[in-house]
Amino acid sequence: MFATLSDRLADTFKNLRGKGKLSEADIDATAREIRIALLEADVALPVVKEFVGAVKERARSEEVSGALNPAQMIIKIVHEELVTILGGETRRLRYAKSGPTVIMLAGLQGAGKTTLAAKLALWLKDQDKTPMLVAADLQRPNAVQQLQVNGERVGVPVFAPEPGNGTGNPVEVARASIEEARRKLHDVVIIDTAGRLGVDETLMQQAADIRDAVQPDEVLFVVDAMIGQDAVVTAQAFLDGVGYDGVVLTKLDGDARGGAALSIRSITGKPVMFASSGEKMTDFDLFHPDRMASRILDMGDMLTLIEQAEKAFDSEQSMRAAEKLATKGGFTLEDFLQQMMQIRKLGSMTKIMGMLPGMGQFRDQLENFDEREIDRIQAIIQSMTPAERDNPKIIDGSRRARIAKGSGRQVSDVNQLVDRFFEARKMMEQMANGGGMPGMPGMPGLGGGKRAGARQQPAAKGKKGKKRVSGNPAKAAQQQAAEKAAAAEKGANPFGNPDGAEVDYEKAAEQLNLPKDFSQFLK
């Protein structure tokens, strides 16, 4: 959704890197680029003016002029201002103190109200609520049937006394639904109302009549995030004609420029409360302004990723896998397959990777990622015998040919999967045992950047079995540090201090060939 805006802002910030102090010309140039980026993203002009003005004012202040890294300070300011125009804090639903909480959905036809009603109902079920859907859209053909199908998919009952298709009284249906909810002990009622292709008096009057009849606790305006500036115009028309408490953005997974999301809050003063970002019923959640701002600036959205993982992952299964990783060779292809199936529950791999910081630079690769690759890996592993999954080392040439034939893949695909599994298991075992990430030179316990798979030669020995010391001072220091680290594992002090004496961490950092700053890390 925000790809164009993210790319433009990233290019803008690149021009600031390495500058110890920002001049007036730098600030003006940055503000101009931000203005262009927002306008290209279809953000409303009044919002652009307000946003750029706030950024320029703060950029000229002491917080930037006195900063050690002005470029990072500008990014921080832009992030904070984005959070502000997106609504500041996350707005949550208000629930009725007594009786069922009534939520009324309003919006134009085609915005996705009927599908969103079912998504909201499923989300409420996960919040330990007992929602009921109400089919009050009696105008659009098959709208009632669509809501009934969606209700069945998410396991939520649908109150639909009228068949719709142009017949029935939606106001009476909405009014009767409240009594039905009380009778069947539903604590939330979600009313799906009719829309129109455009704003007109009939649409507004019907929505206002339903509102007056049921006195909803929340009126949510549902808007298609892909319609750009028209979203702001429509939002203002509904605010004037019907009134609402919050906005729900649909189709955030589309390829639109995203200006509606950045404009509606500032123009209408009403917060964006929910966002729908896919076709699945689970592609729906609260709208968090700070997380959305981080995504726009390619800072990732780790909090959302963690929350989704907590819902999808089996904690006991993950603990068993972690215990196996602590044992050399304990993690098998069967464990790997189970973990992969849990990851699949999170949804599209492209979306998951997109939540990681800095992935904007790999957007092309992510967009071209073939989601079916996971199915191919699953087919290969499931074509193996239990013994082969438990001990992949026994998979010789003939077995690989059989596995390839059984999974409909090439032998080279099987070879690649097995080789990658061994490499990944080795890395994960090292991390699980506190070794850190391999292949990162200059970090304690993090591999020296040796080529993957390279054979490690034993230390050369001189006369009488003594180890030979390198003539290169740097290598000699590394060799000495390695010997002291080995001695530490046997209970000796790695830095030559008598037992019980205070360790000189700065000296330790020096002996480990690390910057002195790492002395705090060693502590």
113 is in an annotated binding site: yes
234 annotated binding-site participant:
no
pLDDT of residue 54: 86
- pLDDT value of position 184: 92
195 belongs to an annotated ligand binding site: yes
Phi, psi (deg, nearest 5) at residue 25 = -65, -40
Query: Binding residue per annotation — 304?
Result: no
Q: Is 358 marked within a binding site?
A: no
One digit per residue, pLDDT tens: the chain, 523 residues?
566 677 777 777 777 776 667 778 888 888 888 888 888 777 878 888 888 888 888 887 766 665 557 777 778 888 888 888 888 788 888 899 888 999 999 888 888 889 999 999 999 998 899 999 999 998 888 899 999 999 999 999 999 998 888 788 999 999 999 999 999 999 999 999 988 777 778 878 888 999 999 999 999 999 887 776 777 788 888 888 888 998 888 887 765 566 776 788 888 888 888 888 878 888 888 888 887 777 777 665 566 666 666 666 666 766 776 676 666 667 788 888 887 777 777 766 666 666 666 665 665 666 666 777 788 888 999 999 999 988 888 998 899 999 999 999 999 999 988 888 888 788 777 766 665 444 333 333 333 333 333 444 444 444 444 455 555 555 556 666 666 555 544 443 434 444 444 445 455 445 444 444 444 444 4
Question: Are residues 193 and 206 in contact, defined by beta-carbon separation less than 8 angstroms?
Answer: yes
308 is in an annotated binding site: no
Tokens 């209970």 found at: 491
Domain extents in the chain: 3-85, 101-295, 306-432, 471-522
- The CATH architecture to which 3-85 belongs is Up-down Bundle (1.20)
Query: Known binder of ligand: residue 452?
Result: no
> How would CATH label the architecture of 101-295?
3-Layer(aba) Sandwich (3.40)
Question: How are strands ordered across the β-sheet holding 131-136?
Answer: 158-159, 131-136, 188-193, 101-106, 218-224, 246-250, 272-276, 284-286
The confidence score (pLDDT) of residue 275 equals 85
pLDDT value, residue 357: 64
198 known member of a binding site: no
Determine the pLDDT at residue 75. Answer: 80
478 is in an annotated binding site: no
Cβ distance 216 to 223 under 8 Å?
no
CB 21 within 8 A of CB 70: yes
Is 499 marked within a binding site?
no
Count how many residues are written for the chain: 523
The pLDDT, as a whole number, for residue 490 is: 43
Q: Which amino acid is at 206?
A: Q
Half-sphere exposure of 289 (CA within 13 A, CB side): 23
Task: Report whether 193 belongs to an annotated binding site.
Answer: yes
pLDDT at 457: 44
Q: For residues 42 and 228, is the Cβ–Cβ distance under 8 A?
A: yes
CATH of 306-432, one of 3.40.50.1000, 1.10.260.30, 1.20.120.790, 3.90.1310.10: 1.10.260.30
* Residues in Cβ contact with 451 at an 8 Å cutoff, skipping those fewer than 6 apart: none
* pLDDT attached to residue 452: 36
Whether 306-432 and 101-295 are alike in CATH topology: the answer is no
Q: Which residues contact 329 (CB under 8 A, 6 or more apart)?
A: 425
Q: 327 a known binding residue?
A: no
Q: Does the annotation list 90 as a binding residue?
A: no
User: 298 among the known binding-site residues?
Assistant: no
